[in-house]
Amino acid sequence: MKLSLTLDQYADQMRDRGWVILEEAVAPALVEKMANDIERAWDVCSAIMEKNGIATDADLTVHHLIGQRDSYLEFIDTMEPLMPYLEHYFEGKFILNSFGGAINTRARTSYAQRVHRDIRSYSGDMPLLLNTLVMLDDFTADNGATHMLSGSHKAEEKPADEVFYASSEQAIAPAGSILIFNSNVWHAGGDNRTDTARRSVTPMYCKPFIKQQFDYPRAMGYDMIDKLKPHTRQILGYNARVPATLEEWYQPPENRMYRGDQG
Ligand SMILES: O=C(O)CCC(=O)C(=O)O
């Protein structure tokens, strides 16, 4: 992974604006794999949504891609150079909270295109949650690049839509770029006015003591633990699991399900 900002540049922008773009961070071959895989994931996710009668407001959005397609685990494997940046935000360790994605098209809109923030309880200066968005196509003014309201992580109130759209900027960057933002920032997916899909995946991260939206270690299997790179194991949440038996609870520090360094 290639990082276009130094840690200091990143930290300054995160503090002041609440968001940054790391331009063309992900290698083109991996971007292409992830883009193809999102179409396959949509087939799987939409079939279950249809079956369970909840396919209303989630058009072309997909969820919990880790374990569905290998390219997303491969992406986490490439993230090692980014670890100090995300640890700087969290002031310590962090884990994956969710890993979804969206295929934004002219024909269909989704909930992500409303002005929103992804943390239901405003957390102020406490870094509980961090959004990222990996651009799988070029993000342009016309194809729905995300609207971001700079500095809006500093206030709890929701801005009126007119104020939001008058003052926000779009996150415009080439495919492979990563938009990173404080989850208190108000934002909205843009409208795609082109005939080509604008695809993205949106891994979100949290402090290790927060419950993941999906139990990734259990979904992948606890026996995977020794096969994963140390930073991948950390991100997926293997170092912050909840024991379910006394056998799992009574373990020496190096084997504990919730490790002592997780905060
Ligand atoms: O698709 C987008 O541009 C926005 C994504 C979004 O709102 C989110 O990840 O919370």
Tell me the domains of the chain and their CATH numbers.
7-220 (2.60.120.620)
pLDDT at residue 56, as a whole number = 67
57 pLDDT above the threshold of 80: no
**Residues pairing with 100 in the sheet:** 202
pLDDT at residue 113, as a whole number = 87
Burial of 95 (0-12, 13-18, 19+ CB in 10 A): buried
The protein residue with its alpha carbon nearest to ligand 1, atom 9, reads 202
Ligand 1 neighbourhood includes 143 CB (under 6 angstroms): no
Amino acid type, 172:
I
pLDDT at residue 58, as a whole number = 55
pLDDT at residue 99, as a whole number = 98
Atom of ligand 1 nearest to the CA of 204: 9
Please say whether the beta carbons of 110 and 262 come within 8 A: no
Atom of ligand 1 nearest to the CA of 131: 9
Which tens digits make up the pLDDT trace of 184-199?
A: 999 999 999 999 999 9
pLDDT at residue 247, as a whole number = 97
Centroid of ligand 1 to alpha carbon of 136 (angstroms): 13
The protein residue with its alpha carbon nearest to ligand 1, atom 2, reads 189
Buried b (16+ CB within 10 A) or exposed e, 223-249: ebeeebeeebbbbbbbbbbeeeeeeee
Residue 20's pLDDT band, with cuts at 50, 70 and 90, is: very high
232 φ/ψ angles, rounded to the nearest 5 degrees: -70, -40
Residue 109's pLDDT band, with cuts at 50, 70 and 90, is: confident
Ligand 1 neighbourhood includes 129 CB (under 6 angstroms): no
Q: Whole-angstrom Cα distance, residue 40 to residue 176?
A: 19
Mean pLDDT of 56-73: 87
Atom of ligand 1 nearest to the CA of 118: 10
54 pLDDT above the threshold of 90: no
Alpha carbon 75 to its chain centroid, in Å, reads: 12
Q: Which long-range contacts (CB under 8 A, 24 or more apart) does 41-49 make?
A: 41/65, 41/68, 41/69, 41/101, 42/103, 44/68
Please say whether the beta carbons of 149 and 182 come within 8 A: no
Ligand 1 neighbourhood includes 201 CB (under 6 angstroms): no
Ligand 1 neighbourhood includes 105 CB (under 6 angstroms): no
210 pLDDT above the threshold of 80: yes
Residue 183's pLDDT band, with cuts at 50, 70 and 90, is: very high
Ligand 1 neighbourhood includes 102 CB (under 6 angstroms): yes
pLDDT at residue 142, as a whole number = 97
pLDDT at residue 108, as a whole number = 78
Residue 167: both structure tokens together = 């003052």
172 pLDDT above the threshold of 60: yes
Non-local CB neighbours of 230 within 8 Å, separated by 6+ positions? none
Which of 142, 205, 198, 128 minimizes the C-alpha distance to 170? 142
Instruction: Report the chain's mean pLDDT, rounded to a whole number.
Output: 95
pLDDT at residue 111, as a whole number = 80
135 φ/ψ angles, rounded to the nearest 5 degrees: -80, 120
